[in-house]
Chain A
């Protein structure tokens, strides 16, 4: 009965209050925002892919050209091979690591959990650069590859694995934590052995987590630009093809076609992911009891060894990045120097780093406000049902669009002579909007999760007490969600610092970012300087992350008074 009255939400037959008008206006505002940042860019790409360079409609001719070109088709195959291989490796490695974190009694679990998160503070490019130092032509472990060249699929898979492993561990740990100990007790009471229990209880329980992880890794690698650019050599993938068509040949039409080709698997994966996540939520009920692992000497030792190995590899990569940035000339002169931090190359310098900080600050600040507000409007006031659903759908869309495709869409919108947005090209503001759009969905969903934990009758009470919605929002909703807001701010900042693909088409002389400078210095063969710039990004991320931890602690302590178990 209650569910009936709450789902249908409400009263569009009632006269609108001031609050209703405010909500409606804001929702419409978000609609316009998404129209320009999501719908228009994708539409423009689609439009360009159906026209020739003079703007004449050519139907599917460009697509014919694409599928008739063996070199371009080869890239499609390469992308799928690399993404699939990485997905299989990462899901396997991450599952064991996450299993050790959540289901073993090995010593140092908090430490290993923290170590798995450290690489999140480093850009994917750093892994690629470090690999060059390990396994490249002058690498110390070159012989490990047994004659296979690092530049190419081997390098891309290795770097992508290192890059996506921490995320995969995070998703899988969360999924493994949601295990119901009652199922394990039932299995034990039915005399099921460990193998059978694993196959019939553990695996089915995490199958959605495994699928979600697989989809995440696959899409990440499929759409990534930075790693194949640095370490791919002559091995072309879709993302590098788009870049070559657009930047190298100024062939926007073919760039648009490849973008659509890249967009389709990303969209499919997105739809599958939404389906999977909607299935997962129902598998762990409110009455479930979290399982706690039982000690087992050999299993725990094995797990400890495994986690140590993985941690050492992940940390070694970062350490190598740092080492490369401060030695004179690898591997011949290992003297300490800070010369590489002077970035004496045309158009590159400390101002790139400053640009990145400015960009990340604004993306994080504006993004936190915007996503929290849009999530609130979608979740809470329960008015204007139809437009709310439209906004929710639009807020989910950016996740389905690869960064490079979104960036190209922005370029095509802005770069049209006489366009309304002409003046935006090359400005930090444009980079902020594009980056913000790219990371919109994840933060919108995080906000939704936080908001769903608030009593759904809060607004009803506020209305009945005649308190304006804005006042209620700032007095209750925002303070209650403060920890989530800090979390979102940090997430946006870190990702903006390391992002390459969304902005590579959009920067200008005065808005080149540190992450782009890494790509350009690598392109120019200045690997040590590229490593130094990548390390600057790492320093900033570490500082921000530490600040975030301190602020969260402070917030929690201050809010602890009411964070006690309360009645349902």
Chain B
């Protein structure tokens, strides 16, 4: 779950990207990308490989130039500034720690040209190593640390000059699954403690949803949606987002009357009546929102359930995922049942079951041609 950023600076965004475009020859890596980031926010750029998220990050860092558009940081247009004149710290996937320098020397590297006295630099290095939990490791070399520790050194090095913006380029993807889970929370804690505005690039949706205040979902160089994790999970703006984030059943349907559509041979009720009859639509519903019962009706008032037979059952940790054959289009529908759900009794019996799709949880999109 996300926390709201501090509301004091909400009026002026810290970072603005306006209509950013980037071409590599004939390949369009970024197209009309616009968004704003508030002071102190943690933003994730999320998308499949090749969607342009890393390019966008590199353009903000000045490691690539924009072909068109603008980047404004803290009220200053930085679009044409070289990297060395921008205000940010960066952590790469490889960490790019200097192998021949000790941990302390690595962290101090960005402080040496600041003209501070030695004692002040040492104090700052000690402070940062404490912050990332590496006290006592300062004389070791990067090669003598574990991947997770190297990652923290890279963070400390990037934060040492107190940059206004922290950029993280897939910082967790080189780590083991367990370490990754621990570091997620640690980076988040650190970011809150320091209060630095942060952008993290990731292709891992779980990482984005758990860490970010807001997520920018990208696809083929364009912004698909920007919103809080709740927004993009519960209210996806497009079938792509609904499908890319988590698991979604996307039913192809045609509106037959206001508030009513047909998918396959089944009629589905819609939440609102805005779609004119004849529209082709996609109805998105998440596996965990579907109820399963053994009888066709849940009670007196509910609509009749959608009959289904069980094709396959997968165990997902504390839940089960059922793959059911139904008469909708496409015919296979996924449903998640928590452990202890009474409906599991029907599954074990191998009987026909009935699915109930709650109208208010269903998102409806116009189907692209």
Partners in one complex: yes
- B84-110 contacts to A, CB under 8 A, are 84-86, 88-90, 92, 94-96, 98-101, 109-110
- On chain B, the residues within 8 Å of A467 by CB distance are 109-110, 112-113
Contact flags (1/0) for A433-464 with B, using CB distance below 8 Å? 00000000000000000000001011011111
1/0 per residue, CB under 8 A from A, across B11-54: the answer is 00000000000001101010000000000000000000111101
**Is B61 located at the chain interface by the 8 A CB criterion?**
yes
Q: Is the CB of A458 within 8 A of B96?
A: yes
A64 CB contacts on chain B under 8 angstroms: none
Pick the contact of B101: A11, A463, A475, A568 (CB < 8 A): A475
The binding surface of chain B is classed by DSSP as loop
CB within 8 Å for A10 and B54 given contacts A465-B161, A471-B113, A564-B143? no
Whether the pair B143, A563 counts as a contact (CB closer than 8 A) is: yes
Cβ distance B175 to chain A, nearest Cβ, rounded Å = 9
The answer to whether A466 and B161 touch across the interface, beta carbons within 8 angstroms, is yes
Contacts of B58 in A (CB 8 A): 5
Residue A476 interfacial (CB < 8 Å): yes
26 A-B residue pairings within 8 Å (CB atoms): A1-B50, A5-B29, A10-B64, A10-B65, A11-B64, A11-B82, A13-B66, A14-B62, A455-B96, A458-B98, A460-B63, A460-B83, A461-B90, A461-B157, A463-B62, A463-B82, A464-B86, A464-B110, A468-B113, A476-B100, A480-B100, A562-B142, A562-B143, A563-B143, A567-B146, A568-B94
Q: Which residue of A lies closest to B109 (CB)?
A: A465
User: B367: CB under 8 A from chain A?
Assistant: no
A149, CB-defined interface residue at 8 Å: no
- Residues of A with C-beta under 8 A to B92: 455, 457, 460-461
Check B61–A20 contact: CB distance below 8 A.
Answer: no
A16, CB-defined interface residue at 8 Å: yes
Query: Which of A4, A18, A479, A566 touches B143 (beta carbons < 8 Å)?
Result: A566
Q: Which residues of B contact A462 (CB under 8 A)?
A: 109
Q: Are B110 and A455 touching (Cβ within 8 A)?
A: no
Asked whether A16 and B82 contact (CB < 8 A) given A457-B92, A458-B98, A564-B143, the answer is yes
Q: A565 at interface (Cβ–Cβ under 8 A)?
A: yes
Q: When chains A and B are docked, how far (Å) is the Cα of A76 from the Cα of B100?
A: 53
Question: In B140-187, which residues have CB < 8 Å from any A CB?
Answer: 141-144, 146-147, 150, 157-158, 160-161, 163, 174
Complex-state Cα separation, A564 to B140, whole angstroms: 12
Given A4-B24, A4-B55, A479-B100, check contact A15 B83 (CB 8 Å).
no
| A88 in contact (CB, < 8 A) | no
For chain B, the count of residues having a C-beta within 8 Å of the partner chain is 53
Closest residue of chain A to B67 (Cβ to Cβ) is A13
Q: Do B29 and A465 have beta carbons less than 8 Å apart?
A: no
Chain B window 67-93, contacts with chain A (Cβ cutoff 8 Å), 1 for yes, 0 for no: 100000000000011111110111010
A89 an interface residue at 8 Å Cβ cutoff? no
What separation, in Å, do the CA atoms of A374 and B49 have in the docked complex?
35
Residues of A within 8 A of B112 (CB): 467, 471
**B64 / chain A contacts, CB cutoff of 8 Å:** 5, 8, 10-11
Residue pair A11, B63 in contact (C-beta under 8 Å): yes
Is A2 in contact with chain B by the CB < 8 A criterion? yes
Contact at A465–B144, with CB atoms within 8 Å? no
B residues less than 8 Å from A13 (CB atoms):
65-67, 80
Q: Which residues of A contact B99 (CB under 8 A)?
A: 480, 562-563, 566
Q: Which residues of A contact B (CB under 8 A)?
A: 1-2, 4-5, 8, 10-20, 455, 457-458, 460-468, 471, 475-476, 479-480, 559, 561-568
Nearest 10 Cβ contacts at the A-B interface? A465-B110, A11-B65, A17-B82, A13-B65, A566-B143, A562-B141, A463-B83, A457-B96, A564-B143, A567-B147
Cβ-defined partner of A464 (8 Å) among B83, B101, B144: B83
Nearest chain B residue, comparing its CB with the CB of A8: B24
CA gap between A10 and B63 in the complex, in Å:
6
* Nearest CB in chain A to that of B158: its residue: A464
Which of chain B's residues has its CB closest to A467's CB?
B113
B50 to chain A, nearest CB (A): 4
Query: Which residues on the A side are within 8 Å of B90 (C-beta)?
Result: 460-461, 464
Cα A178 to Cα B143 in complex, Å, equals 26
Q: How far is the CA of A460 from the CA of B25 in the complex (A)?
A: 23
Bound Cα distance from A479 to B100, whole angstroms: 7
Contact: A5 with B143, CB < 8 Å? no
* Alpha-carbon distance between A471 and B90 when the two chains are bound, in angstroms: 19
Chain A residues positioned under 8 Å from B157 (CB to CB): 461, 465
Instruction: Give Cα A11 to B64, complex, Å.
Output: 5
Distance between Cα atoms of A13 and B78 in the complex (Å): 12
Cβ–Cβ contact B29 & A4, under 8 A: yes
Shortest C-beta distance, A561 to chain B (Å), equals: 5
| A18-B113 Cα distance, complex, nearest whole Å | 15
Please measure, in the bound complex, the distance between the C-alpha atom of A89 and the C-alpha atom of B57, giving whole angstroms: 57
Please measure, in the bound complex, the distance between the C-alpha atom of A457 and the C-alpha atom of B85, giving whole angstroms. Answer: 17
Q: Are B49 and A461 in contact (CB under 8 A)?
A: no
Complex CA distance for A455 and B100, rounded to whole angstroms:
13
State in angstroms the CA–CA spacing of A17 and B65 once bound together.
Answer: 14
CB < 8 Å neighbour of A466 from B29, B113, B158: B113
Residues of B within 8 A of A17 (CB): 82-85
Closest B residue to A460 by CB, please name it.
Answer: B63
**Complex Cα gap A462–B157 (Å):** 11
Contacts of B61 in A (CB 8 A): 460, 464
Q: How far is the CA of A18 from the CA of B311 in the complex (A)?
A: 66
Task: Write the chain A residue with the least CB distance to B80.
Answer: A15
Residue among A5, A460, A461 with the highest chain B CB neighbour number at 10 A: A461
CB contact list, B226-260 vs A, under 8 A: none
In the complex, A5→B55 CA distance in Å? 6
Known: A457-B94, A467-B109, A567-B150. A562 touches B100 (CB 8 A): yes
Question: Chain A CB within 10 Å — which of B27, B50, B82 has the most?
Answer: B82
On chain B, the residues within 8 Å of A20 by CB distance are 82
Shortest Cβ gap from A29 to chain B (Å): 21
| Nearest chain A CB to B254 CB, angstrom units | 37
CA distance A320 to B88 in the complex (A): 67
Q: Is the CB of A466 within 8 A of B62?
A: no
Complex: how many Å from CA A463 to CA B160? 14
Measured between alpha carbons, how far is A463 from B62 in the docked complex, in Å?
10
Q: How far is the CA of A268 from the CA of B47 in the complex (A)?
A: 48
* Given pairs A14-B62, A464-B83, A566-B143, 16 additional interface contacts (CB within 8 A): A1-B50, A8-B25, A11-B62, A12-B65, A13-B80, A14-B65, A14-B82, A460-B90, A461-B90, A462-B109, A465-B157, A467-B109, A467-B110, A468-B113, A479-B100, A566-B99
Known contacts: A14-B80, A458-B98, A568-B94. The answer to whether A4 contacts B27 by CB under 8 A is: yes
Name the distance in Å between B295's Cβ and chain A's nearest Cβ. Answer: 50
Question: A464 — which chain B residues lie within 8 A by C-beta?
Answer: 61, 83-84, 86, 88-90, 110, 158, 163
B49, closest chain A residue (CB)? A1
* In the bound complex, CA of A564 to CA of B54 (Å): 30
Per-position contact with A for B278-297: 1 when CB-CB < 8 Å, else 0?
Answer: 00000000000000000000
In the bound complex, how far is the Cα of B82 from the Cα of A15, in angstroms? 6
The residue of chain B having its C-beta at the shortest distance from the C-beta of A461 within the complex is B96
| B-side contacts of A457, CB under 8 Å | 92, 94, 96
Complex interface: chain A residues within 8 A of B86 (CB): 464
Contacts of A460 in B (CB 8 A): 61, 63, 83, 90, 92, 96
Taking CB atoms, residues of chain B closer than 8 Å to A461 are: 90, 92, 96, 157
Tell me how far the C-beta of B201 lies from the nearest C-beta in chain A, rounded to whole angstroms.
10
Does the CB pair B65–A466 fall under 8 Å?
no
Contacts of B84 in A (CB 8 A): 17-19, 463-464, 466
Bound: A95/B86 CA distance, A: 56
Q: Is the CB of A561 within 8 A of B109?
A: no
What residues of chain A lie closer than 8 Å to B65, measured between beta carbons?
A: 10-14
| Residue in chain B with minimal CB distance to A466 | B84
- Determine how close the nearest CB of chain A comes to the CB of B82; give it in whole angstroms: 4
Among A11, A17, A462, A567, the most chain B Cβ lie within 10 Å of the Cβ of A567
Which B residues are in CB contact (< 8 Å) with A2? 54
